[in-house]
Amino acid sequence: MSSFQELIKKFDKIRDFSRDFLVYGIRTRNTQKIKSKRTYDNEKRRIESFLADYVVEKSHTSGKSINISINPEEMTMNPLFALWETKSFTRNDIFLHFVLMDILECSTRMSISHIYDEVIEYIDEDHQMMDMMTVRNKLNEYEKLGILSKYKEGKQYLYSLSKNRLESLTDKEKLELKQGVDFLSNILPFGVLGMFLSRNLGDSDMNFYQMKYKHYFMFHTLDDELLFDVLKLIETKQKGLIETWNKTNDKIIEKMCTPLMILTNVKHGRRYVVVYDHSSKNFYSLRLDKLKKVSGFEVDEEFKNYLEELKQLEVDSWGVYLNRTDSIEHICMTLKIHEDKEQYMIRRIIREGKHGILEKVDENIFEYHIDVIDTYEIIPWLRTFIGRIVGLNGTNEKAIGMFKKDVRWMYKMYEIGGECL
């Protein structure tokens, strides 16, 4: 039986379990849908190892469960960044890392053969001999990461340590840079990169400016690897095979799609990949946190045309529903707003109402008109005006009927008198 390993080779495994423990937090060893109970135990131990200060254990009738409990308002740096430090490494990886740093620290530029000869001198009888290809691969890996610089001289390549530009900064410049890096690490995608950079800038006597966040979607970092793969396809205008989890039948579905843009719901934190699906020949918005794998295929010659059509659909879209449609749905909402005392409501509708139009039709009576692709998307926003709505009509009678039925049911449940929609 294999022993438990704290580190992992692929991030997708810890991504799924961390999301379950963070978002749901009620799944026990018996209710988690996994191949074996040992898998649950191993992932639980791994997450407890890296997020020990945020793991809470609870007892249920079905067993014990753990969840990750984090108060964003108390955080100055995303604690989930620690999960990116779970990647495993071999004995050769750790040996070559320190040996190469030691060798190149004392030299300006060295060839592969020269470096290999130096590496051999570090190997003792307890360490397995390695070939030149292993050293070459590690040098090329570090060159891609920016740790080393690579130069061509004649027919051979020379390697040297890349200059650390942070060393030339003054303490004041480091302080100013750290402030910006810490802020952007918690706001922009791929914030974990900022976390590593921030460490190199130091943390002593620099905590007086640390910022806290009210609306902070720390779980975004779990999907940044997939987001990077999607952005690469968008940049190169490629179509690719996207694997996404279908909640209805609990299966992984493969789609040949062309990713076109990323949309972010700044209120709820959900991120979407807008794609053109080649099988259905339509546009869809796929939730980024439901993606499992993204693989490039080939350049899509129609990328520009898809993007132009998508931008036209975006004009009439309330949210992320961007399907091709033959008809646009119209909505008219009549509101009762005290014009003198409730100017804030008028300003709010103008600010949040997107491409809709607000018109005054009578004293303290206003009408809001909008054309959208899908009426159902705007329903949650319309609910925020319950109590002010005196009339609601639209071309999608089913959606409007559902809204009115819900309001009547609410009036009845709370025994509210007076007129209802």
- Give the DSSP letter string of 215-226: S--GGGGGGHHH
Question: Helices (H) and strands (E) in the chain — how many of each?
Answer: 12, 14
Helix (H, G, I), strand (E, B) or coil at 147: coil
d(CA 317, CA 312): 9
pLDDT in tens, 99-158: 999 999 877 789 999 999 989 888 876 777 788 999 999 999 999 988 999 998 888 899
Best-predicted range by mean pLDDT among 23-37, 179-193, 260-274, 329-343?
A: 329-343
Mean pLDDT of 51-70: 76
Do 337 and 388 touch, CB atoms closer than 8 A?
yes
Confidence of residue 90 (pLDDT cuts 50, 70, 90): confident
Q: What is the CB neighbour count within 10 angstroms for residue 39?
A: 14
pLDDT in tens, 171-196: 888 888 888 888 888 888 999 999 88
**Structural domain boundaries in the chain:** 11-78, 91-161, 168-209, 221-315, 329-413
pLDDT in tens, 223-270: 999 999 999 999 999 999 999 988 778 788 999 999 999 999 887 889
Indicate the class that CATH gives domain 221-315.
mainly beta
d(CA 240, CA 251): 19
Q: Which residue has the higher pLDDT, 33 or 376?
A: 376
Would you state the pLDDT for residue 1? 44
Question: What is the token pair recorded at 266?
Answer: 């700044």
Give the phi and the psi of residue 267 in degrees, each rounded to 5: -85, -50
Confidence of residue 12 (pLDDT cuts 50, 70, 90): confident
Helix (H, G, I), strand (E, B) or coil at 227: helix
Do 367 and 358 touch, CB atoms closer than 8 A?
yes
Q: Which residue has the higher pLDDT, 170 or 89?
A: 170
Confidence of residue 420 (pLDDT cuts 50, 70, 90): low
Strand partners, 254: 243
Write down the CATH number for the domain with range 329-413. Answer: 3.30.70
Question: What is the token pair recorded at 373?
Answer: 């692709």
Strand partners, 244: 253, 291
- The pLDDT > 70 percentage for the chain reads 90
Do 116 and 138 touch, CB atoms closer than 8 A?
no
Rg, the chain, Cα only: 28
Confidence of residue 209 (pLDDT cuts 50, 70, 90): low
Would you state the pLDDT for residue 204? 47
Q: Is the pTM of this model over 0.85?
A: no
Write down the CATH number for the domain with range 91-161. Answer: 1.10.10.10
Would you state the pLDDT for residue 149? 92
